[in-house]
Structure 1
Amino acid sequence: MPQPEKVLDPTSSPEAWFGNEIRHRRKAAGYRHAGPFATDLQVSVDVILKVERGIYRCPEDLALRLDDLLETGGLFTRAWGMAFGDADKRAPHADRTPPRPADLTDGRTGGSILGGGSPSAATRSPDPVPVDRRTLLAIGGLAIAAPLDLARLLTPATAPPLPERITPTEIRRLQDIAHGLHGWDNRHGGGGLIGQLSSSSIQWAIRLLSVDCPPQLRPDFLAAVARLGLVAGASQFDVHCHDEARLAFKVAVECAEEGKHWHLRAKGYSFLARQAVWIGEADDGLTHAEKGLVRSDRLTATERAMLHTARARAFGKLRDVQGTLAAVGAADDAFTQRRPEEDPPWMAYYDEAQHNGDTAHALFDLAVGIDTHDSTEAVTRFQRAVRGHGPGFERSKAMSCTKLASLVMHRGDPSEAVVIGNKALDLGAGITSLRAADDLRELSRFASRHPRLPETAILRERIAATVHA
C-alpha cells in the first residue's frame, strides 16, 4: 500500500519552497504520482521525491526541464538561482545563526561606532531582527526570496495588513520609507534601529508583491519596491548582514528589470558589485558591474561613472594594476560628462566627493598591496573626498578619512597618520556601521607597525575603545 506523501512546509527554507512548488504544479498538471512525472522528465523518481521534500539540490538542467514540461514560463529557471545558486559559495557555517551581538546603539563609550563583540567576518550576517528565510514567491512572473519573519513594521506583535489591491497610497508609502531610510543610513549607519527598520520594511514590500496591482500602476509600484530594496540592502550591507543585503539587492534588480527601470537596475548591480568586492568575491563584483553597464546608452554619465568605479574596485582587489587604472580612467571620463539635472534623484549623492572617495578606494588596494605602486593619487583623492563630503554624509566622510589615515600610516609619516586617524574617529562618533568599524581595525593594524611611537599606541587604544574590539 503506497505511503501518504509527506506534508511539506514551504516556509522552512528556499529548497523547501522550491520543492513544494514543484509538487503543487505537478499535481495541477495531472501528475498525481511522481513516477510518471519523473519518467517524462527523464530523471529517477527518487530524485524528484527528494527535491520535492527539499532535501536534495535540484540540478540546474532539471529546472529547465521542469519549466518546459509544466509550461511555467521560466519560473523554476529563475527560482533556481535564488534557491540553490549561492549554495556553492556558502561557508560551512553560513546557515547557522550567529550569536546576537550587543545592541548597536546602547552601551557605547566614547563615541563608539559599535557595541561589543569580536571583529565580524565578512561572511557573517548578525541579525538585529530574526530573519529565518521563507523563499521564492512567484509573483507576476518574478521569482524572488522573502524572509519567513514577515515581521513588525509598526509594532512588535503583528505585520501591517495587506491591502486587497495596490493603490497609489502603497506606492507613496514605499517611496517615503525609502527616502527616510536613505537619509538616516547616510547620517548614522545601518546599525541598531535603522537596521531593524530596513529589514522590516523590505519584508513588508516583498509581501506587497503578492497583492494584485492594476497594470497602469505596476511600473511605478515596481520602481518603488526596487528603490526600497536598494536602500534596505545598503543598510544591511553596512552591518554585514550579507545574505539579507544580497536578497534586497536582487529583489531590486528583478523589479527594475520587470518594470524596465534602467536607472534602478544600474544602481542595483552597482550595489551587488560593491558587496561582492567587500566580501572577497572580486570576480563576481566585476561581473555585476559589467551587467550594470549593459545598454550603457540608457544610463546617465553619472551612473556610468558609478559602475566603472565598481569595476575599478574589483580590479583593485585583484591587484590588477592596468585594469584598475583603466577603469578609474573610464570613471573619470564619464564623470567629466556628468549633468546632474539628468540624474534620477537617488544619484544626487554621487558628487565630486563621492567620486573621489570611490576611486580612491580602488587605488588604495594597489597602494597597500603593491609596495612599488605610487600612493600619491590615492592620497589626493581621499583628501578631496574628506573635504568635499557635506552634512548628511558623515559615514562616507569618516570612512574616507580612516582610509586616508591607513594609507599615510602605511606609506607615509605615521605621526601625520595619527592626526588624520583621530579626526576620523571624531567624524565617526555615533555612527553604527560595521564597515566603518572594520576600516578602523585596519588602521589599528597599520599603526601597530610603529610600536615605538607613543601616539600610535594612544590611537590604537582609542580605536579599541571606539569599536569595542
Structure 2
Amino acid sequence: MPQPSKNLDPTRSPQDWFGAHLRHWRKVRRKTQRELALEVHVSASTIAKIEKAERPCDLALARSLDDALDTGGILAWLCLRTGTDADNTVGDAYNATVAPALLGPPGFPGVAPPMTGSATDDGSHGDRGSFLGASGAAALLGGTPLSHLIKPAEPSRLPSAVRPEDIEQVEAAATVLAGWDHHYGGGGIVRTAAEAQLRWASALLELPCPEPMRASLFAAAARLGMVVGAADFDAHAHHDARRVFAFAAACAEEAGQWHLRAKVYSYRARQAVWLGACDSGLTYAELGLAHENRLTGTERAMLHTAKARALAKAGDVQATLRAVGQADDAFAQARPGEDPPWMAYYDAAQHAGDTGHALYDLVAVGYRPVTAADRLRTAIDGHTQAYVRSRTFSMTKLASLTMATGDPHEAATIGHQALDEVVKLHSRRASDGMQDLARLTAVHRTTPEAIKLRDRIKETIKT
C-alpha cells in the first residue's frame, strides 16, 4: 500500500527547498518517482530521498531532471544557487544562463529561496533569520548584488510553434496562481508572477498552432487571463483588470468555451459592482447567463448571486431577494463532479458568503440583518485554509453588520479576528473592508472595545 507523501518544509534548508521544487514539478508532469527515476537513470529511492532532503542532488542529475520534467532549467539553477550541489563552488552559479521559473509551489517566490535559517558546523540550525541576511546573502552570492538574480543572461525563447506541453504549462500556471490568489490575495508577488505568465501565454497565441489544438490554447489563455484579472481586481488595478478580463472573455469566445465565458463575466460583474456601476454589473451577469442551460448548477448559482449583488447595491430589495432565491435554487442542483476545475472554489461556504454579502447591502434600506448574519457565519465556518481571503471577507462583513445593528463588544471581537487575517494578505479589497468597519465604530464612541478596534485598524491599515 503506497505511503502518503511526507509534508515538506521548504524553509528548513536549501536542500529542503530543492526537494520541494522537485516534487512540485514531478507532480505537474504527472510522473511517479519510479517513472522519473527510469528517465534519468537512477533509482526511485534516490528521487524519494532528494525530495525529502535526505540526500543532495548533484548538478548533472539536476540537469537530467530538468530535461525529463521540461522545467526550463529551474532545478539546475536552484542546485547551483542554493549550494545543493556540493561539488560546485559559489562562483560556478553564475555560469548558468537560465532564469528562475515564475511557476513554483505555493509560497515559493522563484527568485531566491525563502529560507529562514542555515545549518551550523555541527549540522544544527543556528540563527534561522540570518540565512539571507547581509552576511548570508554575501556568502551565497559571492558578493554579487541580489538584483543579478532577476537579470537573465538571455530572454526566454518561445517555441517555433505551439506544442501540447505549452498549453499544459499555461493551464498549470493558472491553477497555481489561482491557489495563491485565494490564499494570499492578488497583490505582491502573486500579481507580479501572474502578469509575467500572461505575457508568455498571449505570445503563444501569435505562434503557428495545429488546428486541433487551437481551441485548447485559447481556453488555457482565457483561464489564465481570468486569474490575472482577478489578481488585478484584488490589487485595485482596475484598469488592468478590465483590460485583462476583456482579453479572457475574447479568448473564451474564440475557444467556444461557455463555462470559462460564464466565469469571466461573473468576475466582470463583481468588479463593476465593487466600483459602483450596478447597471454594468447586472449586464455582465446577464451576459454570463446567456444560454444558461449549457451551464452547471454551480455556475448558474454564481451568476445569479452576481445579479443579486448588483441589485442589492442599487437598493432593489425585492429583485435582490428573487435573485438570491434563484441562486439558492441553482445551487441546490449543483453537482460538483460536473463542474470545471476552476469552479471548485464555489462550494457551500462560498455560496453562503456571496449571498450573505448581497443581503448585507440590503440592511441599509431596512432589510432584516439576521439572514445576512446567518449566511456570513456559515461561510466563516465552512471556508478552509485554502480560501483565507474569502473567509476574511465574510468575517469583516459580519463584524461590520454586528457593529451597525448588534452588540459592539461582539463586533469588536470578530473585527480583531478578521484584522489578524487581513494583515497577512496582499488584498486592497480586504483592506477596504477593514476601513469600512473602522468607520462604523463611530456610532459607539463610548464603547472602549470599539474604539480600540478602530485605533488598531487605523494603525495597521495604511491608505
TM-score of the pair, normalised by structure 2: 0.66
Deviation, structure 1 residue 446: 0.3
2:370 aligned with 1:385? no
Aligned to 2:193: 197
Q: Which amino acid aligns with 2:267?
A: F
Deviations 1:387-443 (A, max 9, x none): 000111000101100000001101111111101101111233411100000000000
Aligned to 1:129: none
Aligned to 1:321: 317
Deviation, structure 1 residue 161: 2.4
Rounded to whole Å, the distance in 2 between the matches of 1:156 and 1:311 is 46
Unaligned runs of 5+ in 2: 1-108, 110-148
Deviation, structure 1 residue 357: 0.4
Deviation, structure 1 residue 156: 4.9
Q: Which amino acid aligns with 1:386?
A: I
Deviation, structure 1 residue 313: 0.4
1:161 aligns to what SS in structure 2?
Answer: coil
2:386 aligns to what SS in structure 1?
Answer: coil
1:349 aligns to what SS in structure 2?
Answer: coil
2:337 aligned with 1:341? yes
Q: Percent identity?
A: 50
Deviation, structure 1 residue 466: 2.1
Q: Which amino acid aligns with 1:454?
A: P
Aligned to 1:233: 229
Aligned to 1:276: 272
Aligned to 2:390: 396
Deviation, structure 1 residue 155: 4.3
Residues 227 and 264, structure 1, Cα contact 8 Å, conserved in 2: yes
Residues 205-224 of structure 1 correspond to what in structure 2 (within 5 A)?
205-224=201-220
Deviations 1:358-402 (A, max 9, x none): 0011111111x21x2211110100000000001110001011000
Q: 1:306 aligns with which of 299, 302, 323?
A: 302
1:430 aligns to what SS in structure 2?
Answer: coil
Aligned to 1:364: 360
Residues 195 and 235, structure 1, Cα contact 8 Å, conserved in 2: yes
Q: Which amino acid aligns with 2:239?
A: D
Aligned to 1:244: 240
1:359 aligns to what SS in structure 2?
Answer: helix
Residues 202 and 248, structure 1, Cα contact 8 Å, conserved in 2: no
Deviation, structure 1 residue 223: 0.9
1:251 aligns to what SS in structure 2?
Answer: helix
The Cα RMSD (Å) is: 1.5
Deviations 1:165-218 (A, max 9, x none): 111121011011111101111110011111111122222222221111110111
Aligned to 1:373: 367
Rounded to whole Å, the distance in 2 between the matches of 1:454 and 1:197 is 43
Q: Which amino acid aligns with 2:405?
A: R
2:444 aligns to what SS in structure 1?
Answer: coil
Rounded to whole Å, the distance in 1 between the matches of 2:240 and 2:198 is 10
Residues 199 and 236, structure 1, Cα contact 8 Å, conserved in 2: no
Q: Which amino acid aligns with 1:294?
A: A
1:212 aligns to what SS in structure 2?
Answer: coil
1:319 aligns to what SS in structure 2?
Answer: coil
Rounded to whole Å, the distance in 1 between the matches of 2:156 and 2:287 is 36
Q: Which amino acid aligns with 1:309?
A: T
1:392 aligns to what SS in structure 2?
Answer: helix
Aligned to 2:134: none
Aligned to 1:168: 164
Rounded to whole Å, the distance in 1 between the matches of 2:253 and 2:188 is 32
Rounded to whole Å, the distance in 2 between the matches of 1:393 and 1:465 is 26
Deviation, structure 1 residue 243: 1.3
Residues 425-436 of structure 1 correspond to what in structure 2 (within 5 A)?
425-436=419-430
2:448 aligned with 1:448? no
Aligned to 1:408: 402
TM-score of the pair, normalised by structure 1: 0.66
1:313 aligns to what SS in structure 2?
Answer: helix
Rounded to whole Å, the distance in 1 between the matches of 2:215 and 2:155 is 25
2:259 aligned with 1:263? yes
Deviations 1:73-97 (A, max 9, x none): xxxxxxxxxxxxxxxxxxxxxxxxx
2:357 aligns to what SS in structure 1?
Answer: helix
Q: Which amino acid aligns with 1:322?
A: Q
Deviations 1:435-467 (A, max 9, x none): 000000000000122111111111012112221
Rounded to whole Å, the distance in 1 between the matches of 2:244 and 2:166 is 19
Q: Which amino acid aligns with 2:427?
A: S
Rounded to whole Å, the distance in 2 between the matches of 1:156 and 1:191 is 22
2:158 aligns to what SS in structure 1?
Answer: coil
Q: Which amino acid aligns with 1:281?
A: A
Rounded to whole Å, the distance in 1 between the matches of 2:177 and 2:156 is 18
Deviations 1:290-342 (A, max 9, x none): 00000001100000000000000000110011111010000000000111011
Residues 228 and 244, structure 2, Cα contact 8 Å, conserved in 1: yes
Rounded to whole Å, the distance in 2 between the matches of 1:244 and 1:156 is 25
Number of residues of Structure 1 aligned to a counterpart in Structure 2 = 315
Rounded to whole Å, the distance in 2 between the matches of 1:299 and 1:466 is 42
Q: Which amino acid aligns with 1:296?
A: E
2:174 aligned with 1:178? yes
Deviations 1:271-296 (A, max 9, x none): 00001101111100100000000000
Unaligned runs of 5+ in 1: 1-104, 106-153
Rounded to whole Å, the distance in 1 between the matches of 2:434 and 2:171 is 34
2:220 aligns to what SS in structure 1?
Answer: helix
Rounded to whole Å, the distance in 1 between the matches of 2:253 and 2:428 is 31
Deviation, structure 1 residue 159: 5.1
The answer to which structure has the higher helix fraction is 2
* Highest RCO, 1 vs 2 (Cα 8 Å, sep ≥ 6): 1
Q: Which amino acid aligns with 1:459?
A: L
2:200 aligns to what SS in structure 1?
Answer: helix
Deviation, structure 1 residue 248: 1.5
2:344 aligns to what SS in structure 1?
Answer: helix
